[in-house]
């Protein structure tokens, strides 16, 4: 996404002698035209339609008219705030879980895997060879009652822990918030691993040797050298995981219960089944704004502004 856009950003410095200034001033704008056109057609226009649709009233059969019905935003927030909160919460937990699993994995692939590196990278992407739906359905079998995973969780009393955390409500795993978060983590893990790998792979080993020469323990070297240098990967990975996870609904439909409904599922119902397009547009717009606000704050805080 925008992270990719920044790659070409620093290349503008040339050493040509100053020729006609006006011409030179216009060139960057011409170069921007294809990008702008793309943004206009595939982002701005749909966004305006969505915004406009959300403020219309009427019915699907008789047509809808723009009536600047702003009250729908307030009503939607009041009626569906738990769904938004849940979506953000689940996505955040899944992102943290993916980071905890993905970081060691990416580190191992980048630095410890030797000649297995390429094979391991292919394995990270391998799940994409089958459909998202099939992969999620497989989790129904994995977490099914009477299966080995549930047995293991019960033997180790992890089920009690999950119950205490309110992530499950019985001695089972399927059809619980835990299952939804696990599904999200699994489905978006590659989006975490690949950017992490890209930034860890570039890490200069000599920096770690230098840290060692200066009597830093391995952990200190990790904390003060490896981690800061991999921060762009962490930020890109968390964004690529969090954003799609917050809007996902397949996982909550297939792995959740009636009290783990995420906002994507509600939008799907309004759009597809009730055919209430203004309501669906409003919900999508609110989700967009919430995610944008979170992402902006996060990126500002993490100090890697070149990502946006």
Q: Which of 20, 23, 205, 273 binds other proteins (CB under 8 A)?
A: 273
- Does position 9 bind other proteins by CB under 8 A? yes
x/- track of binding to other proteins for residues 19-38 (CB under 8 A): -----xx--xx--x---x--
Candidates 61, 134, 213, 303; binder of other proteins (CB under 8 A) is 61
Does the protein bind other proteins through residue 14 (CB under 8 A)? yes
211/299 with CB nearer other proteins: 299
Taking CB under 8 A as the binding criterion, the range among 203-211, 240-248, 250-258, 289-297 that sits at the site for other proteins is 250-258
Tokens 């009536």 correspond to 67
**All residues at 6 or more sequence positions from 76 whose CB lies less than 8 Å from its CB, including other chains:** 279, 282, 283, 286
Six token digits for residue 166: 């309110």
**CA separation for the pair 251, 246 (Å, rounded):** 11
Report whether 93 contacts 181 (CB < 8 A). yes
- How far apart, in whole angstroms, are the C-alpha atoms of residue 58 and residue 131? 37
Judged by CB, which is closer to other proteins: 66, or 123? 66
Token pair of 87 as six digits: 């979506």
Q: Say how far residue 188 (Cα) sits from the centre of its chain.
A: 7
Residue 86 as a binder of other proteins (CB under 8 A): the answer is no
| Residues 128-167 contacting other proteins, CB under 8 A | 137, 140-141, 144-146
Backbone angles phi, psi at 78, to 5 degrees: -70, -40
Q: Does residue number 169 form part of the binding site for other proteins (CB under 8 A)? A: yes
Shortest Å distance, C-beta 137 to other proteins: 8
Question: Which long-range contacts does 6-15 make (Cβ < 8 Å, 24+ apart)?
Answer: 6/306, 6/307, 9/306
256 binds other proteins (CB under 8 A): yes
CB contact at 8 A, 299 and 307: yes
| Burial of 188 from C-beta contacts in 10 A (0-12 / 13-18 / 19+) | buried
Does 53 interact with other proteins (rule: CB under 8 A)?
yes
Interface with other proteins, residue 39, by CB under 8 A: yes
Residues that bind other proteins (CB under 8 A): 9-10, 12-14, 16, 24-25, 28-29, 32, 36, 39-40, 44-45, 47-49, 51-53, 56, 58-66, 83, 137, 140-141, 144-146, 169-170, 172, 174-175, 254, 256-259, 261, 265-266, 269-270, 272-277, 306
């Amino acid at each position: 996404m925008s992270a990719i856009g920044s790659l070409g950003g620093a290349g503008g410095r040339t050493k040509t002698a100053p020729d006609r200034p006006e011409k030179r001033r216009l060139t960057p704008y011409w170069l921007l035209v294809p990008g702008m056109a793309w943004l206009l057609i595939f982002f701005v226009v749909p966004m305006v339609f969505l915004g406009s649709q959300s403020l219309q009233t009427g019915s699907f059969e008789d047509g809808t008219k723009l009536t600047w019905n702003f009250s729908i935003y307030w009503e939607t927030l009041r009626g569906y705030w738990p769904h938004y909160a849940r979506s953000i919460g689940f996505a955040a937990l899944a992102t943290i879980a993916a980071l905890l699993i993905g970081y060691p994995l990416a580190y191992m692939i980048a630095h410890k895997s030797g000649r297995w590196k390429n094979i391991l990278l292919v394995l990270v992407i391998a799940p994409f060879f089958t459909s998202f739906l099939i992969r999620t359905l497989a989790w129904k079998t994995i977490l099914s009652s009477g299966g080995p995973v549930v047995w293991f969780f019960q033997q180790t009393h992890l089920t009690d822990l999950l119950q205490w955390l309110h992530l499950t409500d019985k001695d089972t795993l399927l059809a619980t918030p835990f299952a939804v978060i696990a599904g999200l983590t699994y489905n978006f893990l590659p989006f975490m691993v690949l950017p992490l790998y890209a930034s860890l792979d570039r890490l200069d080993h000599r920096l770690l040797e230098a840290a060692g020469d200066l009597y830093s323990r391995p952990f200190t070297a990790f904390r003060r050298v490896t981690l800061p240098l991999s921060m762009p990967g962490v930020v890109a990975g968390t964004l690529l995981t969090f954003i799609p996870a917050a809007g996902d609904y397949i996982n909550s439909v297939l792995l959740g219960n009636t009290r783990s409904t995420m906002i994507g599922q509600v939008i799907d119902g309004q759009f597809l089944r009730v055919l209430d397009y203004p309501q669906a547009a409003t919900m999508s717009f609110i989700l967009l704004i919430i995610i944008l606000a979170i992402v902006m704050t996060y990126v500002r805080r993490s100090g890697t502004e070149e990502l946006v």
